[in-house]
Amino acid sequence: MGSIEDKQPAIAYDQGAMAAKWMQQLGINADLAPVVDVHTVDPPVLESRMFGNTPTTVATYAGAYIKGLQQNDVIGCLKHFPGLGAITSDPHGGLPTVNRSMAELESIDLAPYKLMIQKDHPAMIMSTDVLMPAIDPTLPAELSQKTINDLLRKQLGYDGVVITDGLYMQGISEKWSLSQAAVLSIIAGDDLVEGPYSASQVANVVAALKQAMQEGKLTMDRINQSVQRILLMKVQYGIIKY
Protein backbone atom coordinates (compact mmCIF):
# COMPACT_ATOMS: atom_id res chain seq x y z
CA MET A 1 0.00 0.00 0.00
CA GLY A 2 1.39 3.41 -0.97
CA SER A 3 1.14 6.61 1.00
CA ILE A 4 -1.61 9.18 0.44
CA GLU A 5 0.96 11.26 -1.48
CA ASP A 6 1.43 8.35 -3.86
CA LYS A 7 -2.30 8.07 -4.43
CA GLN A 8 -3.14 11.73 -5.01
CA PRO A 9 -2.01 11.86 -8.66
CA ALA A 10 -4.27 8.85 -9.20
CA ILE A 11 -7.18 10.96 -7.96
CA ALA A 12 -6.36 13.59 -10.60
CA TYR A 13 -6.22 10.83 -13.22
CA ASP A 14 -9.61 9.52 -12.12
CA GLN A 15 -11.10 13.02 -12.33
CA GLY A 16 -9.81 13.39 -15.88
CA ALA A 17 -11.13 9.98 -16.86
CA MET A 18 -14.53 10.71 -15.32
CA ALA A 19 -14.72 14.10 -17.04
CA ALA A 20 -13.86 12.41 -20.34
CA LYS A 21 -16.67 9.88 -19.96
CA TRP A 22 -19.20 12.57 -19.07
CA MET A 23 -18.09 14.71 -21.99
CA GLN A 24 -18.36 11.82 -24.42
CA GLN A 25 -21.92 11.19 -23.26
CA LEU A 26 -22.68 14.80 -24.20
CA GLY A 27 -20.90 14.55 -27.56
CA ILE A 28 -18.01 16.82 -26.48
CA ASN A 29 -14.58 15.79 -27.74
CA ALA A 30 -12.19 18.36 -26.20
CA ASP A 31 -11.56 19.82 -22.75
CA LEU A 32 -9.66 23.12 -22.48
CA ALA A 33 -7.86 21.82 -19.39
CA PRO A 34 -5.70 21.33 -17.38
CA VAL A 35 -4.25 24.64 -16.18
CA VAL A 36 -0.47 24.35 -15.72
CA ASP A 37 0.21 27.82 -14.36
CA VAL A 38 2.53 27.76 -11.33
CA HIS A 39 1.16 29.56 -8.25
CA THR A 40 3.92 32.04 -7.38
CA VAL A 41 2.24 35.27 -6.24
CA ASP A 42 -0.30 36.07 -3.55
CA PRO A 43 -3.14 36.61 -3.81
CA PRO A 44 -3.21 34.48 -6.98
CA VAL A 45 -5.67 35.52 -9.68
CA LEU A 46 -6.34 31.91 -10.72
CA GLU A 47 -6.01 30.27 -7.29
CA SER A 48 -8.84 27.75 -7.65
CA ARG A 49 -7.51 26.57 -11.02
CA MET A 50 -3.85 25.83 -10.20
CA PHE A 51 -2.38 22.54 -9.01
CA GLY A 52 0.49 23.90 -6.93
CA ASN A 53 3.39 26.27 -6.40
CA THR A 54 6.20 24.24 -7.94
CA PRO A 55 6.58 23.15 -11.57
CA THR A 56 7.07 19.52 -10.51
CA THR A 57 3.82 19.43 -8.53
CA VAL A 58 1.94 21.10 -11.35
CA ALA A 59 3.35 18.72 -13.96
CA THR A 60 2.62 15.66 -11.79
CA TYR A 61 -1.04 16.44 -11.16
CA ALA A 62 -1.82 18.11 -14.49
CA GLY A 63 -0.04 15.23 -16.20
CA ALA A 64 -2.25 12.72 -14.40
CA TYR A 65 -5.37 14.69 -15.29
CA ILE A 66 -4.54 15.02 -18.99
CA LYS A 67 -3.73 11.31 -19.13
CA GLY A 68 -7.18 10.63 -17.71
CA LEU A 69 -8.70 12.71 -20.49
CA GLN A 70 -6.61 11.58 -23.42
CA GLN A 71 -6.46 7.89 -22.55
CA ASN A 72 -10.25 8.05 -22.66
CA ASP A 73 -10.32 9.67 -26.10
CA VAL A 74 -10.96 13.29 -25.12
CA ILE A 75 -8.53 15.97 -26.31
CA GLY A 76 -6.71 17.77 -23.50
CA CYS A 77 -5.20 21.25 -23.56
CA LEU A 78 -2.40 22.67 -21.40
CA LYS A 79 -2.86 26.33 -20.54
CA HIS A 80 -2.13 29.24 -20.27
CA PHE A 81 1.13 29.40 -22.26
CA PRO A 82 3.62 30.80 -21.42
CA GLY A 83 2.15 31.12 -17.91
CA LEU A 84 -0.27 33.14 -15.77
CA GLY A 85 0.91 32.00 -12.33
CA ALA A 86 2.57 35.37 -11.58
CA ILE A 87 -0.11 37.76 -12.83
CA THR A 88 -1.68 40.24 -10.42
CA SER A 89 -4.62 41.38 -12.58
CA ASP A 90 -7.37 39.52 -14.43
CA PRO A 91 -6.48 39.22 -18.14
CA HIS A 92 -10.17 39.64 -19.02
CA GLY A 93 -9.90 43.28 -17.96
CA GLY A 94 -6.53 44.24 -19.44
CA LEU A 95 -3.18 42.90 -20.57
CA PRO A 96 -1.15 41.63 -17.59
CA THR A 97 2.64 41.89 -17.67
CA VAL A 98 5.05 39.39 -16.12
CA ASN A 99 8.44 41.05 -15.64
CA ARG A 100 10.51 37.94 -15.04
CA SER A 101 13.94 37.28 -16.50
CA MET A 102 14.26 34.56 -19.10
CA ALA A 103 16.08 32.41 -16.53
CA GLU A 104 13.15 32.78 -14.11
CA LEU A 105 10.63 31.96 -16.82
CA GLU A 106 12.63 28.87 -17.79
CA SER A 107 12.78 27.59 -14.22
CA ILE A 108 9.18 28.40 -13.25
CA ASP A 109 6.54 29.23 -15.87
CA LEU A 110 7.94 27.24 -18.80
CA ALA A 111 9.09 24.28 -16.72
CA PRO A 112 5.74 22.39 -16.71
CA TYR A 113 5.63 22.56 -20.50
CA LYS A 114 9.20 21.26 -20.76
CA LEU A 115 8.26 18.36 -18.47
CA MET A 116 4.90 17.55 -20.08
CA ILE A 117 5.28 18.05 -23.84
CA GLN A 118 7.44 14.95 -24.27
CA LYS A 119 6.02 12.92 -21.37
CA ASP A 120 2.27 13.51 -21.65
CA HIS A 121 1.86 14.42 -25.34
CA PRO A 122 -0.78 17.13 -24.94
CA ALA A 123 -3.04 17.25 -27.98
CA MET A 124 -3.40 21.03 -27.60
CA ILE A 125 -1.78 23.96 -25.85
CA MET A 126 -3.56 27.27 -25.30
CA SER A 127 -1.57 30.47 -25.73
CA THR A 128 -2.76 33.46 -23.75
CA ASP A 129 -3.06 37.21 -23.25
CA VAL A 130 0.06 38.11 -21.30
CA LEU A 131 3.05 40.32 -22.03
CA MET A 132 6.40 38.81 -21.08
CA PRO A 133 9.08 41.35 -22.07
CA ALA A 134 11.88 38.79 -21.64
CA ILE A 135 10.34 36.83 -24.53
CA ASP A 136 8.69 39.59 -26.58
CA PRO A 137 8.53 43.19 -25.32
CA THR A 138 5.88 44.33 -27.81
CA LEU A 139 3.28 41.63 -28.47
CA PRO A 140 1.03 39.53 -26.19
CA ALA A 141 2.10 35.89 -26.17
CA GLU A 142 -0.66 34.52 -28.41
CA LEU A 143 0.08 37.13 -31.11
CA SER A 144 3.85 36.77 -30.89
CA GLN A 145 5.98 34.78 -33.34
CA LYS A 146 8.81 34.91 -30.78
CA THR A 147 6.55 33.16 -28.26
CA ILE A 148 4.74 30.62 -30.44
CA ASN A 149 6.97 29.84 -33.44
CA ASP A 150 10.34 30.44 -31.82
CA LEU A 151 9.83 29.39 -28.19
CA LEU A 152 6.98 26.87 -28.11
CA ARG A 153 7.52 25.27 -31.51
CA LYS A 154 11.29 25.45 -32.07
CA GLN A 155 12.81 25.56 -28.58
CA LEU A 156 10.32 23.37 -26.72
CA GLY A 157 9.68 21.13 -29.73
CA TYR A 158 5.89 21.24 -29.67
CA ASP A 159 4.20 20.36 -32.96
CA GLY A 160 0.66 19.78 -31.74
CA VAL A 161 -2.29 22.12 -32.05
CA VAL A 162 -2.06 25.57 -30.49
CA ILE A 163 -5.31 27.38 -29.74
CA THR A 164 -5.52 31.03 -28.74
CA ASP A 165 -7.16 32.28 -25.60
CA GLY A 166 -10.19 34.53 -26.06
CA LEU A 167 -9.19 37.22 -28.54
CA TYR A 168 -12.15 39.31 -27.35
CA MET A 169 -10.53 39.87 -23.93
CA GLN A 170 -9.72 43.47 -23.13
CA GLY A 171 -5.94 43.05 -23.20
CA ILE A 172 -6.30 42.30 -26.91
CA SER A 173 -9.46 44.17 -27.89
CA GLU A 174 -8.27 47.56 -26.63
CA LYS A 175 -5.54 47.50 -29.30
CA TRP A 176 -6.61 45.06 -32.03
CA SER A 177 -9.92 44.13 -33.60
CA LEU A 178 -10.93 40.48 -33.46
CA SER A 179 -10.03 40.08 -37.14
CA GLN A 180 -6.63 41.77 -36.75
CA ALA A 181 -5.81 39.64 -33.72
CA ALA A 182 -6.86 36.45 -35.53
CA VAL A 183 -4.52 37.19 -38.43
CA LEU A 184 -1.62 38.00 -36.10
CA SER A 185 -2.23 34.80 -34.13
CA ILE A 186 -2.04 32.58 -37.22
CA ILE A 187 1.10 34.37 -38.42
CA ALA A 188 2.54 33.79 -34.92
CA GLY A 189 2.02 30.01 -35.21
CA ASP A 190 -1.34 29.39 -33.54
CA ASP A 191 -3.66 26.94 -35.32
CA LEU A 192 -7.13 27.55 -33.85
CA VAL A 193 -8.69 30.93 -33.07
CA GLU A 194 -10.84 31.29 -29.97
CA GLY A 195 -12.95 34.43 -29.95
CA PRO A 196 -15.37 34.89 -32.86
CA TYR A 197 -18.73 33.67 -31.52
CA SER A 198 -21.26 35.04 -34.00
CA ALA A 199 -21.77 34.32 -37.68
CA SER A 200 -20.75 37.86 -38.64
CA GLN A 201 -17.56 37.70 -36.52
CA VAL A 202 -16.59 34.39 -38.12
CA ALA A 203 -17.21 35.83 -41.58
CA ASN A 204 -15.08 38.88 -40.76
CA VAL A 205 -12.20 36.73 -39.51
CA VAL A 206 -12.33 34.51 -42.61
CA ALA A 207 -12.32 37.60 -44.82
CA ALA A 208 -9.36 39.03 -42.91
CA LEU A 209 -7.40 35.78 -43.29
CA LYS A 210 -8.09 35.74 -47.03
CA GLN A 211 -6.99 39.36 -47.33
CA ALA A 212 -3.79 38.60 -45.39
CA MET A 213 -3.05 35.82 -47.89
CA GLN A 214 -3.69 38.14 -50.85
CA GLU A 215 -1.32 40.70 -49.32
CA GLY A 216 1.38 38.08 -48.72
CA LYS A 217 1.24 38.31 -44.92
CA LEU A 218 0.05 34.69 -44.76
CA THR A 219 0.98 31.87 -47.10
CA MET A 220 -0.92 28.77 -48.13
CA ASP A 221 1.93 26.70 -46.69
CA ARG A 222 1.39 28.32 -43.30
CA ILE A 223 -2.36 27.59 -43.45
CA ASN A 224 -1.67 24.02 -44.51
CA GLN A 225 0.62 23.48 -41.50
CA SER A 226 -2.28 24.24 -39.19
CA VAL A 227 -4.76 22.22 -41.23
CA GLN A 228 -2.43 19.22 -41.05
CA ARG A 229 -2.00 19.49 -37.28
CA ILE A 230 -5.76 19.81 -36.75
CA LEU A 231 -6.61 16.89 -39.06
CA LEU A 232 -3.97 14.65 -37.46
CA MET A 233 -5.41 15.41 -34.03
CA LYS A 234 -8.94 14.66 -35.23
CA VAL A 235 -7.82 11.33 -36.69
CA GLN A 236 -5.91 10.43 -33.51
CA TYR A 237 -8.99 11.05 -31.36
CA GLY A 238 -11.47 9.38 -33.69
CA ILE A 239 -13.28 12.58 -34.67
CA ILE A 240 -12.75 11.79 -38.34
CA LYS A 241 -12.17 8.36 -39.85
CA TYR A 242 -9.95 7.55 -42.77
Q: Catalytic residue numbers?
A: 92, 165
| Nearest CA among 119, 19, 132, 122 for reference residue 84 | 132
Cβ atoms of 70 and 121 within 8 Å: the answer is yes
DSSP state of 54: S
Amino acid present at 2: G
3-state secondary structure of 124: strand
* Full DSSP string of 75-111: B-EEEEET--TT--S-GGGS--B----HHHHHHTTSH
